[in-house]
Amino acid sequence: MKPSARTPEALVITPVPNVTRNTAFEFHRSHLGEFMLPVTSTAFQQIVEARQMVVVERQGEIVGLCYVKPDGKELDTVSRWEFGGLHLSPALRGRGLGTLLSSVAITAVTRADPKPVMGYVHQDNPAGMGLLVHRLGFVVTDQKVRLGPDDAPGHLRRDSAGCATAHVLRLPDAARARLSDDLERIGLDADSPSVPVTLRSE
Ligand SMILES: CC(C)(COP(=O)(O)OP(=O)(O)OC[C@H]1O[C@@H](n2cnc3c(N)ncnc32)[C@H](O)[C@@H]1OP(=O)(O)O)[C@@H](O)C(=O)NCCC(=O)NCCS
């Protein structure tokens, strides 16, 4: 089932307010898994202050998170956004909420400053690739980023040489516009301070 306007389960998508940034940071740190790089506490705080860290809340509890922050990968000299940190509680998956959270975050941040958006997805992460490519409209470039054994040790699934490899994806302008149009079509305002959404029960 996809999110709709009339359903029993009420959720809110909202930029992380300063008062809950520690809880949001804890959510991020405790759900890193094999496919996500940690954001440092200082960087996390900067992203929160810039209103680029977005969560899904259910009855005041954080159940999903992602960010759209200045891209730190420095693939070239072009200034870009980096979409990342996406995690949704398992019980809420498969109903379009990951797409909705991502769309709201990307639309809100890029409307304010429309720079190209990049995504980096671990090569062994089909859920991440599926969501970014099939639902959000990212395209896979011919670039990859590779972390060596000394980069972010203790994080990410590694190959036998101790390296982690991610696909580099970019979001074409037309796809970005489509995300914004899709939100409008279902009556959601990404610029609102908090976006109420509801999920039909499965
Ligand atoms: C990725 C994640 C946020 C998806 O959330 P979600 O609410 O289930 O996603 P949606 O329902 O909006 O979209 C589902 C799409 O994502 C892809 N997808 C989701 N789970 C998948 C899986 N296990 N295998 C393959 N594709 C998957 C599919 O393309 C799917 O589209 P479909 O329903 O048309 O098949 C969630 O699985 C998650 O939190 N995973 C752990 C963290 C993670 O991998 N984050 C991504 C880092 S890049």
Q: Which fold has domain 10-199?
A: Aminopeptidase (3.40.630)
- In short, whether 27's Cβ falls inside 6 Å of ligand 1 is no
The CA–CA distances, whole Å, from 193 to 68, 108, 117, 171, 196 equal 16, 10, 22, 24, 10
- For 98, the 3-state DSSP assignment is helix
- In short, whether 157's Cβ falls inside 6 Å of ligand 1 is no
CA of 77 to the centre of ligand 1 (A): 31
Question: Could you read off the pLDDT of 16-70 as tens digits, one per residue?
Answer: 999 999 999 999 999 999 999 999 999 999 999 999 999 999 999 999 999 999 9
Domain positions in the chain are 10-199
Q: What is the DSSP string of 154-191?
A: T-S---TTS-EEEEEEEE-HHHHHHHHHHHHHTT--TT
- Model confidence at 1, in pLDDT bands (50, 70, 90)? very low
- In short, whether 130's Cβ falls inside 6 Å of ligand 1 is yes
- Examine the pLDDT at 177 and tell me if it is beyond 80: yes
Angstrom distance (rounded) from CA 48 to CA 52:
6
Asked whether 183 and 154 are in contact (CB, 8 A), the reply is: no
Could you tell me what percent of the chain has a pLDDT over 70?
95
